[in-house]
Structure 1
């Protein structure tokens, strides 16, 4: 906190196993700064994390980062805009789950801060905290599942993020009606809140992979007995079952999968043969981990 309140600048990387209090630490930072009249900007890598962060907003939305950042790294913010003024006055910019973000996105954010702050220092010399890492990848556990009362579901669209209804949030179905669905939010700062969801039109993406686009009216939810890494980020669970049909493919995935619970005894792993493997090879109870040494070296500096 003294470093953040000082007139200097710096970048901070926060890491640690699940359940040790990273979210509590951030809440304390934000409460201390804002109660003292300082400005603290909070952004996240996905909308689901915004539900557990006070005042959270996706980095793409807050900083106007292009969706196709590989082709264009220029954020749509002018130096005379109110957002640029907010950035200059901020004591802290806090980015949750930074490892979920592509390298090009971080570089675009770095260029934005350098331009706004008129500085060649990393991130324009602003005080910024990046939280690492949160991933998880799993598969569906059943081919056909039926929506019914008291079953876990996940929201598929951003309906009202300020009220906790954002893409990826987990809920519990409490009552089914013909044109409405009553549910209770299961995680985040709105945990326990009852909401009513109605049918809305959903349309498939118009690209070659999906073929002919079509639209249908349905409840924007699906059953959620399992979740992927990006859906479990920032959460601490009582019991964790990891169904690993394929090895992990990115830095930090295996770590996060194994650290969703406070106790190692509450984590169970089922390792299945990969889709393509030689039947003559004897399978072992082992799996591959992916580590990018460059990230560890950067965090150690």
Structure 2
């Protein structure tokens, strides 16, 4: 038991530490040492900043002293003065800490000499947004807009140019070109050296916008949001200055967020602009989304509570100019399937007496009530898995979507067993705050997997896909739900590559991070799990997939969908009808048979059925 990797340890504790079963006292030091082996100083500096913010280091100055050489290797190649090198590293880390919402003065690091800072004291937010380079391909997008997009483009720019402001809502199903429109607007304004702020509710949606951020992180929206609150930035802050200077602010996937978050931004902008009588202080703001998709999550909320939490119920809704996009969807998904998707999204698809709709036979994997059903779905979505693992486009262009986390975990475990390659297993370190009598032993805590937290046992292999849990560094692409590929691992550090969005190709190091469930009422105690903030992402919940385009999709429905828009979101993630497969497992609720329907456009019989939940109140606004 005391032998690990053919080396005899002096104690059982040392052996357990080497196996990763208990946390070592020097884990953070070893994490940085392991990351140094990959010889990426800029990534190492970001790891150091991440450790300062999230990992509760007991001796930050000691970590600095021991790892300054590794963090400064690139600077030392061209700068001979050690003081200048140290100040360059400090400036870099200060910028990283600020992007994570912290100041370097909060940590016991060497004193900074401001003479080395060439920003002239300008706010970081302004520097970041003003320095965005426009992608040369985006400069020509305006000439390719369809008539609906062009009308919206012209109307929004007219509001910007006039200086009178306006509030717009761009409404369109997936495939109608909302992101295409946003990119054209950003290219136009940024090309004129104006500031245009790109945000989205979901991290994955923000990552595909040019220099996008989550709305919560950009606008400092409080976590516990209630009626009447404001954002947590002051009139003198860099965020306030940015919002005053910006010509345009775009918030995509706004239908996913609670109306109180949007109203908080409205309250704050009226305040900083000094114009309480105008929505958003008279500035131009564009919201985008699709009410057919999943609405804001209200824990244990009733239908009325969920609708009340949506943008549709906000006092701002009637003040918005609605811009509808519908063109392109039929080309995106194929004419018949696009019509079917809209009927699902609108709640108008014909249902039987049990309220179940019928699914197209050609996109269904027949259910036989056998364990092999899910294996056949996996084979459809991930063909030739182990001959394609080195291709990041293969592994990130497909996923299986399902309703609940238990189903996700089951599929991910099946997939990682199929996946070839070197394996590493990480165990979390679980604890309860304020439990002096040890009422909750680690063995019990290890069995818990709260929503939003990584599993106790995390099994990884080289080139396997994962998603990030939490907004680690939104300014640099590390959002909640960012998709990554594992490129390397050590005992205390994981080397991963961002594979989707504007930061695709960037390599990052991830440490173990203490995480707590976002829902404080989930347990009668304060639970903390220290683990790498990732999950496997061969499969994910339907809700997490919202905002993403996944070219090849499998939909696994072992039970019925349970909220508005879930079925529509699952079916509309794929880029074409031929790229989607659905396994709706037969049971007493969703196996009801009805006479197949034939139409002039579609003569294929429909044999699989499932529930579709649509709150038509939010669609008829």
TM range (shorter): 0.7 to 0.9
- How far, CA to CA, are the matches of 1:82 and 1:123 in structure 2? 18
- How far, CA to CA, are the matches of 1:292 and 1:6 in structure 2? 38
Tell me the residue number matched to 1:109: 265
Q: Return the TM-score normalized by structure 1.
A: 0.81
Tell me the residue number matched to 1:286: 609
- How far, CA to CA, are the matches of 1:75 and 1:160 in structure 2? 19
The alignment partner of 1:237 has SS state of coil
- How far, CA to CA, are the matches of 2:522 and 2:198 in structure 1? 35
Answer whether contact 1:19 1:260 (CA < 8 A) is retained: no
Answer whether contact 1:44 1:59 (CA < 8 A) is retained: yes
Tell me the residue number matched to 2:242: 86
Tell me the residue number matched to 2:286: 129
Q: Deviations over 1:63-97 (max 9, x none)?
A: 33332222552333455655444333322110011
Judging changes above 3 Å, is the alpha-carbon distance between structure 1 residues 91 and 266 closer, same or farther for their aligned structure 2 residues?
same
The alignment partner of 2:496 has SS state of strand
The alignment partner of 1:247 has SS state of coil
Q: Return the TM-score normalized by structure 2.
A: 0.42
- How far, CA to CA, are the matches of 2:267 and 2:586 in structure 1? 44
Please list every run of at least 4 consecutive aligned residues from structure 1 whose deviation after the TM superposition is greater than 4 angstroms. Answer: 77-82, 134-137, 203-206
Hey, which of these two has a bigger chunk of strand by percent? Answer: 1
Structure 1 residue ranges without an equivalent (≥5): none
- How far, CA to CA, are the matches of 2:224 and 2:519 in structure 1? 17
The alignment partner of 2:205 has SS state of helix
Judging changes above 3 Å, is the alpha-carbon distance between structure 1 residues 260 and 294 closer, same or farther for their aligned structure 2 residues?
same
Cα distance, 1:37 vs structure 2: 2.1
Tell me the residue number matched to 2:619: 296
RMSD over equivalenced CA pairs, Å: 3.1
Tell me the residue number matched to 1:193: 506
Cα distance, 1:132 vs structure 2: 0.6
Q: Deviations over 1:233-276 (max 9, x none)?
A: 332222111123222412x43333222122122222222367xx
Tell me the residue number matched to 1:175: 488
Cα distance, 1:278 vs structure 2: 6.4
Tell me the residue number matched to 1:13: 169
The alignment partner of 1:287 has SS state of strand
- How far, CA to CA, are the matches of 2:238 and 2:510 in structure 1? 35
- How far, CA to CA, are the matches of 1:84 and 1:203 in structure 2? 30
Judging changes above 3 Å, is the alpha-carbon distance between structure 1 residues 26 and 206 closer, same or farther for their aligned structure 2 residues?
closer
Tell me the residue number matched to 2:20: none
Tell me the residue number matched to 1:159: 472
Match for residue 68 of structure 1 among 220, 224, 247 = 224
- How far, CA to CA, are the matches of 1:236 and 1:91 in structure 2? 29
The alignment partner of 1:73 has SS state of coil
Tell me the residue number matched to 1:2: 154
Cα distance, 1:129 vs structure 2: 1.3
Q: Deviations over 1:152-178 (max 9, x none)?
A: 211123333333222211112233332
Cα distance, 1:203 vs structure 2: 4.4
- How far, CA to CA, are the matches of 1:293 and 1:109 in structure 2? 27
Judging changes above 3 Å, is the alpha-carbon distance between structure 1 residues 253 and 199 closer, same or farther for their aligned structure 2 residues?
same
Answer whether contact 2:213 2:475 (CA < 8 A) is retained: no
Match for residue 198 of structure 2 among 15, 38, 42 = 42
Answer whether contact 2:228 2:263 (CA < 8 A) is retained: no
Cα distance, 1:102 vs structure 2: 0.9
Answer whether contact 2:255 2:288 (CA < 8 A) is retained: yes
Match for residue 98 of structure 1 among 251, 254, 260 = 254
The alignment partner of 2:183 has SS state of helix
- How far, CA to CA, are the matches of 2:229 and 2:221 in structure 1? 8
The alignment partner of 2:221 has SS state of coil
Judging changes above 3 Å, is the alpha-carbon distance between structure 1 residues 163 and 41 closer, same or farther for their aligned structure 2 residues?
closer
Larger of the two Rg values belongs to structure: 2
Tell me the residue number matched to 1:247: 561
- How far, CA to CA, are the matches of 2:186 and 2:496 in structure 1? 30
Answer whether contact 1:23 1:234 (CA < 8 A) is retained: no
Cα distance, 1:130 vs structure 2: 1.1
Judging changes above 3 Å, is the alpha-carbon distance between structure 1 residues 254 and 10 closer, same or farther for their aligned structure 2 residues?
farther
- How far, CA to CA, are the matches of 2:210 and 2:242 in structure 1? 17
The alignment partner of 1:43 has SS state of strand
Hey, which of these two has a bigger chunk of helix by percent? Answer: 2
Alignment coverage as a number of residue pairs: 294
- How far, CA to CA, are the matches of 1:206 and 1:230 in structure 2? 17
- How far, CA to CA, are the matches of 1:156 and 1:262 in structure 2? 26
Cα distance, 1:33 vs structure 2: 0.6
